Amino acid sequence: SIFANTEHLLPINKALYDQIRERVGSWSPKQCMGDIFLKMAPFFKIYNTYQNNYERAQDVLSRLQLDHSFKEECDRIAKAVQQRTGDTKAASLEGLLIQPVQRIPRYIMLLGELLRKTAETHVDFPALEKSITELEQVMTKLDMEITAHEFREKFLSMGSKIKGATNLIKAHRFLISEGTVNLRTKSAEQAKSSGFAKTFKKEQKLQIWLFNDVMVHLKSTKSKRRTNVSSTKYTWPLELV
C-alpha cells in the first residue's frame, strides 16, 4: 500500500485546520492557538502507521513507475497540481508522500516561532510551551516506534537465513546497535581468561546485535541455518555482559 492510513490522517488535519481558521477569522491581540495543538496532540500518534509504511510505499511506487501508463498518469496529475498550487516540489507523488512524515516537525517549528514572538505575560504563552512539549513527546514516541518496526521487519526477513532470529522479537525489545567485531589474538586471550574459551578459540569475526535487554553474538564461520541465535549460548542478558 502506498497511502497507508491517510484516510485517518485527513479528518484529524481537517479538524485542526478548521479550528485554526476559525481563530484567525476572529483574530485579536488576546487570541490563542496553543490550546488547539494541545488538544490535538494525542491524535497525532496515529502517524506511526504512515511513517512505518513510508519506506515500503517508496519501494512500491518505484516498481509501479516502471509501468509506462502509471508514470504517465502520475505526470498528468503532477502537472494539474502544479498549475493549481504553484508548488513544483509537492506536485509529484514522491513529494506528496513525504508531506505527512514532515508534518509534526513542522508544527513544532511553527509553534516555536509563535512562542518566540509571544510575550510571557500573554494568556497563550503557557499553552504554547506545553503544546510544543507534547508534540516533541509524540515525535519521540513515533521515532521509537519506527526503530522498533524496522527491527521487527529486519528480523522477520532474517528468519529464513538465521535460525531463531524471529524468536528474538519481543514486545519490549528494541535494537540499539549492531556490527561486526574482529576478535584478535590478544582479545581472544582475554576472553579465554574470562571463561569464553570454547566460544572464542581463535581470531575470528563476530556478528553482534545489542538490544535494550540482551546482547546476541554469532560467529561468521557458523552455519546460520543450524545455529539457533535465540538460544542461551548466543544470547546474553545485559546484566551478565
Whether 192 shows a pLDDT value over 90: the answer reads no
Q: What is the phi/psi pair of residue 2, to 5°?
A: -85, -40
Q: Which residue has the higher pLDDT, 153 or 227?
A: 153
On whether the CB atoms of residues 25 and 59 are closer than 8 A, the answer is no
Angle at 85 between CA 84 and CA 86, to 5 degrees: 105
Q: What is the pLDDT of residue 179?
A: 81
Which residue type, as a one-letter code, is found at position 60?
Answer: V
Span 210-226, mean pLDDT?
A: 69
Cα separation of 36 and 192, whole Å? Answer: 62
Whether 218 shows a pLDDT value over 70: the answer reads yes
Model confidence at 212, pLDDT cuts 50, 70, 90, reads confident
Whether 13 shows a pLDDT value over 60: the answer reads yes
On whether the CB atoms of residues 110 and 33 are closer than 8 A, the answer is no
Q: What is the pLDDT of residue 85?
A: 80
| 80, three cell numbers | 494539474
For the stretch 41-53, pLDDT in tens is 999 999 999 988 8
For the stretch 52-106, pLDDT in tens is 888 888 889 888 988 999 989 988 888 888 888 877 665 688 888 888 989 999 9
Model confidence at 230, pLDDT cuts 50, 70, 90, reads low
Report field, pTM of the whole predicted structure over 0.75? no
107 CB-contact burial (10 Å; exposed 0-12 / middle 13-18 / buried 19+): buried
For the stretch 121-132, pLDDT in tens is 999 999 999 999
Q: What is the pLDDT of residue 11?
A: 95
For the stretch 129-184, pLDDT in tens is 999 999 999 998 888 777 666 666 766 666 556 777 777 767 677 777 778 877 66
